[in-house]
Amino acid sequence: MTKPKPIRPPPPPGIFGLPGGGSRKSQELVLHKTSQKSDSPKPSSERLVRDIRRATRKQYSAEEKIRIVLEGLRGEESIAELCRREGIVQNLYYRWSKDFLEAGKKRLTGDTARAATSDEVKDLRREASALKEVVAELTLENRLLKKSVTGDGEEGE
């Protein structure tokens, strides 16, 4: 008795029918189109495919990277399982993990300055302006007091 083969869903179609998904016919069609030009060398067609794949590659946000790295650090599942589930290679996970830990280390040692938001900058400028006004008022008050003390002393003599 033969064991039934597991049924796999077909891969999603690639962009413009390029390899990476779709039917075999569409893949052959694309390969035929890219190899039609006899004057262009083979590396240019490979470069075209590589550039298209690079342009359509998933870009992970910082929040997604942090979430994935923290899940790996929790250790609830193996790194291989995590990477398989997230659709990334282990090397990429370890690079993100290294960057994450180095950034945390730099932040704790104070090597990096945090960028202020525009609201924080506006608040700081407002506060600086208010403090300058207070300094100006106190300086003026101090001068008036000095004049009154020295003026009173001269009148008494």
30: number of CA atoms within 13 Å, CB side?
18
Tokens of residue 16, six digits: 């413009």
In order of 28, 53, 71, 78, 102, the CA distances from 65 in angstroms are: 36, 21, 10, 17, 14
pTM over 0.85: no
Q: Which helix (H) or strand (E) holds 1?
A: none
Residue range 89-97: average pLDDT? 95
Statement to judge: residues 94 and 73 lie in one domain = yes
For residue 96, tell me if it sits in a domain.
yes
Angle at 49 between CA 43 and CA 50, to 5 degrees: 85
Same domain, 47 and 83: no
- Do residues 20 and 53 make contact, with C-beta atoms less than 8 angstroms apart? yes
Span of 53-57, 109-113, 142-146 with lowest mean pLDDT: 109-113
On whether residue 154 sits in a domain, the answer given is no
Domain annotation covers residue 29: yes
Number of domains forming the structure of the chain:
2
Q: Judge whether 82 and 71 are in contact, CB under 8 Å.
A: yes
Domain shared by 50 and 89, yes or no: no
Query: CA–CA separation, 93 vs 51, rounded Å?
Result: 23
Is pLDDT at 58 greater than 60 in this prediction? yes
In this structure, are 50 and 74 located in the same domain?
A: no
Residues 33 and 73 in one domain: no
Residues 41 and 53 placed together within one structural domain of the fold? yes
Please count the other Cβ atoms lying within 10 Å of the Cβ belonging to residue 22: 19
Which sign, positive or negative, has the C-alpha torsion 50, 94, 11, 3? positive
Tell me, yes or no, whether 131 lies in a domain: no
In this structure, the answer to whether residues 107 and 66 fall within a common structural domain is yes
**Residue 50 covered by a domain:** yes
> pLDDT confidence of 55, banded at 50, 70, 90?
confident
pLDDT for 28 equals 46
| Residue 24 shares a structural domain with residue 66 | no
Residue 74: burial class (beta carbons within 10 Å; 0-12, 13-18, 19+): exposed
Which structural domain, as residue segments, surrounds residue 71?
59-112
pLDDT of 13 over the 90 cut? no
